[in-house]
Chain A
Amino acid sequence: MVDGVLMSQDILVDDFLTIFVSSTLVLIFGGFYVGIYTAIKVNLLKKWMMPLGYFFWILTAYCLYLMGSLMHVNELTAKALVVAAIGLLLLPHAVYYMQDHVHQENEH
């Protein structure tokens, strides 16, 4: 059952903590990125803070890379993680665009 398709290599004992911390940070940093982006768009934060939001996305992408490397993910999963990172980058833009568009349609 457990062959080389996904389990190409065992995880080193010393890598577990880094894997758990980095995978947690993926979503914590991701949450900061999404939170800052949304807060700026609804005028709860100043616009100049946007680069800080994108900085958190870069940290997210790095943690994802670190996690995937230490887990020894195969090529397909690595691609899926890249798609997930790009998806997270684009998601708030798409959501904001759609929300704003529908709001404007209903208000004017």
Chain B
Amino acid sequence: MANSYLKSESKKLATWYFTVAATLFGAQLLFGLVAAIQYVMPGFLFEILDFSVARMLHINALVVWMVFAMFGSVYWLLPDETGIETVGIGMGKLLFWVFTAAVTVVVLVYLFIQVGPADETSIWFIHEGREYIEAPRWADLGITVVALGFVANLFMTGMKGNRSGIVTVLMADMIAFAGLYLTGMFYTDNISVDQFWWWWVIHLWVEATWEVFVGAIAAYGLITMIGAHRKVVEMWLWIEVSMLFGSGILGLGHHYFWIGTPEYWWEIGALFSALEPLPLVAMFIHVLYDWGKMQGEEDAKGQEISVITNKPAFTWFVLNAFGNFLGAGIWGFFHTLPQVNLYTHGTQFTSAHGHLAFFGAYATILVGMMYLAVQGKNGIKVLNNTKSTVWATSMIVGGVVGMTVALTIAGYSDVIISRAQMGATWAGYFDAQGTTWLVQGMVWRLLMGVVTFVGFLFLAKDLLSIGKATHHVR
């Protein structure tokens, strides 16, 4: 992974993280495809790789590749923002290998052992049974050590170097990120209480700490790619942080509707869920405004050249602004008010929202960061698109949007039959599963999943080869 253009050890470490992240992204899509096939053909890989295991690998790989890419993004931007090399880089490298080894062992256990004896041994060595964060306890402890080491590196570097607004926000955000993971690590006998704390990780991660992280990365990207004014970008970053923490933390209430928590959570969850799209709208305006303003200044000078120094990365950053608004905003809003969530909770609507929100809000910007790393690694001033860039972007975005539409149609059938007409009974569930709309929706989801996976292959090829193309400005 050594490269003559990368002088910074922190940036070299970032490329390691991005490499593992991209690999896990591929694994996520592959196991998603297996699960999608099993929905249509239930006998596929029966007793070899069952649906429960394929799904577990699909959603855990999603979380883990994003965490890898987030750590990589921070290690990438730290030398630029602080003006110094990351402190404790040796420890950073050691923790990278610990993290990668732990994830590899956990995946092998999921694949080859799969099910434990349902006692303490399972929790410690197989998996904990909590969606998205199913790592066994030994790996949980390892992940905590890795996260704390990462936060220590971030803090030591931030305190020693030039502490920009972006770094300050990241320092606060990553403490919350690491701390919240602990809430999903202890067990209680009561499943409602267990779900309550489990949501602290998942919701407060994605709708508070991850969204704030996206704001910080978007700020760094705008400064790097279009030369946006730091003061403007950082001013807006602080506003987004306050809005996201406000709506994100109290919006957590919309996950509490049906698990036996006090009823005031209905009111709080409904109110702040309705307000959650507002910071996303603001982020959307922010990106468009800054790009329009910078391009307008260049045009006024009579320059016809684009202000964008990394076209693929900027495309993914803009997709993030739209995707965040669509996936988290629109697909989130239309089923989070309790009046309608009573009917939509846990149906294919949730799946539609989950697919578009994770992709739109996080995958897009993290892929954009990978392109920024490719640019830096190859010493390129202006990185242009290739045919593979266009194919990768179009097929991944088209595939995910297609999956979302298919799941939304399936979800509508699910809601009407299994909830509204049949009253959330088992008979209603099975009747809904057999309807033409739901079955065809699942077939279309599979086809769109194939499109997404082919798009990923183009993306992998592009990330590995784009630096060698000759049409960039060096």
Contacts and interface: CB of A to CB of B under 8 A. Distances in A.
A96 B293 CA distance: 11
B353 to A, nearest CB: 12
B339 A72 contact: yes
B410 interface: no
A51 interface: no
A31 B278 CA distance: 11
B416 interface: yes
Interface of B: 229, 231-232, 235-236, 239, 260, 263, 266-267, 270-271, 274-275, 277-278, 281-282, 284-286, 288-290, 292-293, 296, 325, 329-330, 333-334, 337-340, 342-343, 412, 415-416, 420-421
At the interface, is chain A mostly helix, strand, loop or mixed?
Answer: helix
Contact of B296 (A24, A28, A42): A42
A5 B296 contact: no
A71 B292 contact: no
A71 B271 contact: no
Contacts of B286: 95, 99
18 contacts: A5-B267, A6-B339, A13-B421, A23-B333, A27-B325, A35-B284, A35-B288, A38-B285, A38-B288, A39-B292, A71-B337, A71-B339, A71-B340, A77-B270, A80-B275, A91-B281, A95-B286, A98-B236
Contacts of B281: 30-31, 34, 88, 91
At the interface, is chain B mostly helix, strand, loop or mixed?
Answer: helix
B402 to A, nearest CB: 17
Interface centre among B229, B285, B293, B338 (most CB of A within 10 A): B285
B312 to A, nearest CB: 22
Contacts of A55: none
B282 A16 contact: no
B285 A77 contact: no
B289 A96 contact: yes
A92 B285 contact: yes
B342 A7 contact: yes
A6 B44 CA distance: 44
A10 to B, nearest CB: 8
A105 B289 CA distance: 16
B412 A84 contact: no
B236 A42 contact: no
A1 B260 contact: yes
A11 B288 CA distance: 39
